[in-house]
Structure 1
Amino acid sequence: MTHAILANTIDEGFRLANPWALLLLLLIPLLAVLKGRRGQQGAVVFSSLHILHRMGTKAKSRAGGIRMALVFLTITALTMALARPQNVRTSETISESGIEMILAIDVSRSMQVDQDNFTIGGRQVNRLQAAKKVTRDFISGRTTDRIGLVAFAGRPYLASPITLDHEWLEDSMQRIQIGMVEDGTAIGSAIAAAAKRLDTRPAKSKVIVLLTDGVNNAGQLSPIIAAKMAKTLGVRIYTIAVGSYGDFVIQTPRGPQRLVQEFDEETLKEIARIGDGEYFRAQDTGGLEKIFSLIDDLEKTEVKRNITVHAKERFPIPASVALVLGLLTLIGNETFWRRYP
């Protein structure tokens, strides 16, 4: 199965995994209130206050303030560590399961008829030119599909293997032309060649789009038998008849030649029925564009979207700060701020 994967970041930010831990910050004002009510009790009783002044009461008071500040900062840092701050990145992964497809395009001499209603940019063109333009537009919209190209007249010719390189495929489409293989219309052989290529592919959905303006008159294989063979391989077939009934003049190596246009619509309909597809008829460029638009809608690509949240823990930073502040407080209690009985 063809897969195309696109990953992109849709949001970045910061969060606390355990915000309830911030309630511990209420301990700070509570400790401050308790400290203020209880006051500082001396460990030694003095007979005269002027002795306290001589021992540096103001310095002791500052030391006590520093100690309480360290305690409060330690509680704050520890609380932030328990709240688990995180840098968060939310990413979206889009996985598309594409279709394996072969476009089988008729390049027999009748495809050079330019007396139909096929136009490009207001300029009248022949059937093949219109088909190439519309199929190129179709290819450009199937970005996740692997598509191949078979050109056929008296026999099939692999113009492009099944590929995801649509730029190469469109160039191959541009290169196919009338007269590149011997004349005739080998519809059965074209279906068989396309089905054989698709048979080895791993995709769940395999499709042939067959575009022709004539009647099967070449090749050793019946179109109906070829369609049944493709069916057993799990290949779906869409058939498109292009052009109008009537008498036309085409150019051949021996000069102008009269052509009486014929379509074997019943056979094309039966091929589509056997292949679980659809039969279409296009008599102008607009009609051909609508047909390929319908096929585009019928052959939808499966798209899966997964949202992933990546969290990078930042609690080691406040935890380290809390550890350092706690150690400083303990060291201070045992040295600078130690009270003697």
Structure 2
Amino acid sequence: METSFQFANPLWLWLLLVLPLIAILRGRSGRAVALRLPSISDARGVGGSPKSRMGGLLLSLLLLGLALTIVALARPQLGKGRTEVETSGIDIMLAIDVSGSMQAMDFKIDGQAMNRLEVVKNVVEEFVGERPGDRIGMVGFAGRPYLVSPLTLDHDWLKNRLKEVQIGRVEDGTAIGSAIASSVNHLRDSDAKSRIMVLLTDGVNNGGAANPVTAAEAAKTLGIKIYTIGAGTQGQAPMPMRDMFGRTHMRMVDVEIDEESLREIAKLTGGQYFRATDTDSLVEIYNEINELETTKRTMKKYEDYEELFLFALLPGLGLILLERVLGETRFRHLP
């Protein structure tokens, strides 16, 4: 349940600006004391102000009453409602390479060099945020795959799990085929009308028991589409290396991505292959996949507004009435 507060006629609130002017004018005029006193000594006992002592109280009652009345005219409302978003019918498994080569510092964020994995995590988090109606799961892989998150609509939980993804959790290597097989296994029982997988890697399959193309054929049989992304600059990339004294140095290493296999996997399943050589191109790729796999989501919004003007109007009129009564009775000035 969502709650909100609003004024149905907010233009009336501009009248509040008149109240300080009323206060100034009434303060200047005041209520003159009209008692006739037989001597100066008697006058000293009356008090030292030519204004009525209760004038300030009466003025405060009037101004507060007027303010509450103006607020009532603006019609304050408390909105109670809820929004329901129907799922889009798309289930997505994200497979992210967490091998040692993902430490290469060839991507940047705001001009600062970052390793590939940290940039990928940032971009994937934005991608997840753009798809509130999809069930999304995640697999990390190096020498073998492991489940980061099953398919879920709880994207806040998914993003928290994404932050914990790091290099070195499993033995090193690049088990692309096993990552595909693992993702397919998590999608096979899904009854979504569309099931897709987004695989990102910066290397060549060199681990795991499954052949990437064979795993892709299994995905095709189940109607699962695979988008593949090769991440990394062309040629060479700076890689942090530690020497025998524990000091970190940057060394240029060759970049090797099996683009031919990644293209074949994507084509076989009806997906597409993309190459990300920097942060901007990586962002564009996930944006393109987002657009390619977008379906209309039904959003239902229910709202019910409770009128609150009486809570301001009744006290406001009461204060104005009280000011009039006191001004004409107990605190009435003598002529």
Specify which of 271, 287, 293 is matched with residue 293 of structure 1: 287
Root-mean-square deviation (Å)? 2.4
Q: Which residue of 2 aligns with 1:136?
A: 125
Specify which of 93, 100, 106 is matched with residue 109 of structure 1: 100
Q: Which residues in structure 2 correspond to 1:83-232 (within 5 Å)?
A: 95-114=86-105, 116=106, 118-232=107-221
Shift of 1:200: 1.0
Equivalent pairs counted in the alignment come to 217
Shift of 1:222: 0.8
Q: Which residue of 1 aligns with 2:263?
A: 269
Aligned equivalents of 2:224, 2:261: Cα separation in 1: 18
CA contact (8 A) 2:196 2:226 kept: yes
What is the letter of the counterpart of residue 197 of structure 2? I
Q: Which residues in structure 2 correspond to 1:27-38 (within 5 Å)?
A: none
| Length-normalised TM-score, structure 2 | 0.60
Q: Which residues in structure 2 correspond to 1:310-329 (within 5 Å)?
A: none
Shift of 1:93: 7.7
Shift of 1:282: 0.5
Task: Report the 3-state secondary structure (helix = DSSP H, G, I; strand = E; otherwise coil) of the residue aligned with 1:303.
Answer: coil
What is the letter of the counterpart of residue 272 of structure 2? E
Q: Does 1:283 align with 2:277?
A: yes
Task: Report the 3-state secondary structure (helix = DSSP H, G, I; strand = E; otherwise coil) of the residue aligned with 2:173.
Answer: coil
Q: Which residue of 2 aligns with 1:6?
A: none
Kindly provide the CA deviation profile for residues 134-174 of structure 1, in whole angstroms up to 9, marking residues without a partner as x: 00000011001010110000000101111111011111111
Aligned equivalents of 2:175, 2:83: Cα separation in 1: 48
Between Structure 1 and Structure 2, whose CA radius of gyration is higher?
A: 1
Aligned equivalents of 1:214, 1:270: Cα separation in 2: 15
Task: Report the 3-state secondary structure (helix = DSSP H, G, I; strand = E; otherwise coil) of the residue aligned with 2:88.
Answer: strand
Task: Report the 3-state secondary structure (helix = DSSP H, G, I; strand = E; otherwise coil) of the residue aligned with 1:97.
Answer: coil
| Length-normalised TM-score, structure 1 | 0.59
Unaligned runs of 5+ in 1: 1-90, 309-341
Question: Percent identity over the alignment?
Answer: 50
Question: Do the aligned partners of residues 248 and 169 (structure 1) sit closer, same or farther apart at CA in structure 2, a change above 3 Å counting?
Answer: same
What is the letter of the counterpart of residue 149 of structure 1? M
What is the letter of the counterpart of residue 110 of structure 1? S
Question: Do the aligned partners of residues 252 and 98 (structure 1) sit closer, same or farther apart at CA in structure 2, a change above 3 Å counting?
Answer: farther
Unaligned runs of 5+ in 2: 1-81, 303-335
What is the letter of the counterpart of residue 226 of structure 1? A
Shift of 1:98: 3.2
What is the letter of the counterpart of residue 106 of structure 1? D
